[in-house]
């Protein structure tokens, strides 16, 4: 089965990758048949960059980003996305799992569903920010959109609960020894 994991630079997506590596690719557990072997695809959706405008001064005054600046920002964002995917591949490699990395462009929720379909995924895994109903209503939810629109099953990996001191607890149904739940994150360099 081909497993597609959606990545961004959030703790939720790092936790989702950690969950996939621990649950679907356990160390030393080789499937008996080639059909039972999972393939891992890491996907990052690069949101479109719209021309920037910065209001200044009085009514109707604005400064637009010069085309050269916009091109420079686009190049920096692509490099950052490639770096994220490279770090994730190193994490996978460190755990003995090979992974393909795919950078797609477009609005995250739609681009992830499209990437899963294009890859022929048997499972799309996304992290959750743990916003709750009100937060999802105001900010939207990539995981909710994917769960309703993806062409394959979707696994939403929730973050562990937060204790009274604001720290992630290990009493979650998903026990996670990942450093992303302590200081730093799973893919910190």
For 160-175, the pLDDT digits (tens) are 676 677 665 543 333 3
Q: Structure pTM? A: 0.77
Average pLDDT of the chain is: 79
Q: What Cα–Cα distance (Å) separates residue 132 from each residue in 11, 97, 140, 161?
A: 16, 33, 11, 12
pLDDT at residue 57 is higher than 50: yes
pLDDT at residue 34 is higher than 70: no
181 vs 118, more confident: 118
Quickly tell me which residue has 């909710």 as its tokens.
Answer: 144
| Alpha carbon distance 92, 113 (integer Å) | 22
3-state helix/strand/coil string of 31-87: CCCHHHCCEEEEEEEECCCCCCEEECCCCCCEEECCHHHHHHHHHHHHHHHHHHHHH
Task: Note the pLDDT of residue 135.
Answer: 53
Q: What Cα–Cα distance (Å) separates residue 10 from each residue in 2, 16, 17?
A: 23, 10, 11
How many CB atoms lie under 10 A from the CB of residue 27? 9
Q: What whole-number percentage of the chain has pLDDT above 90?
A: 47
Task: Note the pLDDT of residue 108.
Answer: 92
- Indicate if the alpha-carbon torsion angle 95, 99, 104, 109 is positive or negative: negative
Which tens digits make up the pLDDT trace of 61-104?
656 667 787 888 889 999 999 999 999 999 999 999 999 999 99
């Amino acid at each position: 089965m081909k497993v597609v994991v959606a990545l961004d630079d959030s703790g939720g997506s790092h936790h989702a990758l950690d969950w996939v590596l621990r649950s679907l690719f356990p160390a030393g557990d080789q499937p008996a048949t080639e059909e039972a072997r999972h393939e891992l695809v890491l996907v990052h959706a690069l949101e479109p960059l719209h021309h920037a405008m910065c209001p200044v001064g009085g009514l109707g005054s604005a400064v637009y980003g010069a085309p050269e600046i916009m091109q420079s920002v686009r190049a920096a964002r692509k490099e950052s996305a490639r770096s994220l995917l490279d770090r994730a591949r190193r994490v996978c490699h460190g755990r003995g799992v090979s992974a393909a990395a795919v950078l797609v462009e477009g609005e995250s929720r739609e681009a992830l569903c499209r990437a899963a379909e294009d890859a022929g995924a048997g499972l799309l895994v996304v992290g959750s920010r743990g916003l709750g109903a009100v937060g999802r209503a105001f900010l939207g939810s990539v995981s909710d959109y994917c769960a309703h629109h993806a062409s394959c099953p979707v696994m939403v990996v929730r973050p562990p609960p937060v204790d009274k001191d604001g720290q992630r607890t290990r009493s979650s149904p998903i026990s996670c020894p990942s450093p992303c739940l302590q200081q730093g994150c799973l893919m910190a360099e």
